[in-house]
Chain A
């Protein structure tokens, strides 16, 4: 029997692993239990970053979960650019100048819903019960998920921008404009994601979380100015589209990347973000503490 930590030669089956491990050693255990000192509780930042580290480890161990931030955004860009490009703007390369920032916003907002699914899975598996018995800053697990998700959103943003550049997107705002646009989108997505932490805690199964997410995401992203200028829409729809948070974010990102300073839309985007954070953040923490 080996105690070597290098188990590279071991096949992954449960039986093989079980044969390798030893029986617990009561004396060693007793020695470990003697230490009764407890370190001071970690700061809010440390606990949140620790949960963020957990999210990174999960990406490392289950890399296929990156499918939704790589293949999905590529598909979105190519599909809409070639489907609508010729009809709406005469050519793909001229439509992509308008479409790309919008599709970026739409894709990221759609990807946010996986946060709720991840939380719901953790609850079902029982690991959440352990987190909830730890004496730490209560929102840390949620903030940790969202920090991990920011990394996923950044990956998706890079993928979308690269595909865009390949098929002819030329942002006039240059690198600074693009970075500013992405930064605003990250802030908005972080705040928006608290809707999903709430549903993840509230609903019973992964399936119902997905179902509700679709109901919210589809109207919110499609009924916006991502694909077309709302001027040709009926008045009642214009009223919705022009005031939708997704429209404000899409306009702000589009203008920032084009080298302008859309002050009003930035303010609207941040205002919506603050509202989402306060309302759904509070609802999430209430559910988390009450569950």
Chain B
């Protein structure tokens, strides 16, 4: 299992560093933006706008996690599909099912790590300038976006592993619709009651990749 982590790490290490840098860049930029407003108009302005107009000031971040998830899946799994190197991976004397999930799990962990660092940075700053209610307003709303990042990672993995193009198109269609669910409302905290189910769903769709792997092993073609 260590060896699988090692291989996944070799594939994604540069991307991982880039992803951390980029997402941190976005978080820090959002923070600076809030800070600037505070300097110009005072903290009260931020509070009032947040309370009365449902503004959360980090809307810039909205699609960052989903793009990070998509890129992570592509960076991690496209090399496996290059000249079908996945055959090498699946030929190793290790259960194909475990292999699939250890690979997905390693990417998932790295993605989670990236998101976690983001959250810690934002949480740190926002705790200083905002009341907990407002901070949670921002972080709760962002959680949906981060979940979308996780879901997009698993869904793109499912698409990348799929051996046949026709089926791949179907997968892409399903993926687009599923990801749309994460972006149905601009209202902060609108997802609160749905969030736990969304989280469970996002994790469960990891299992779809197994179907693609089975089809790969069965040599399915267009």
A in complex with B = no
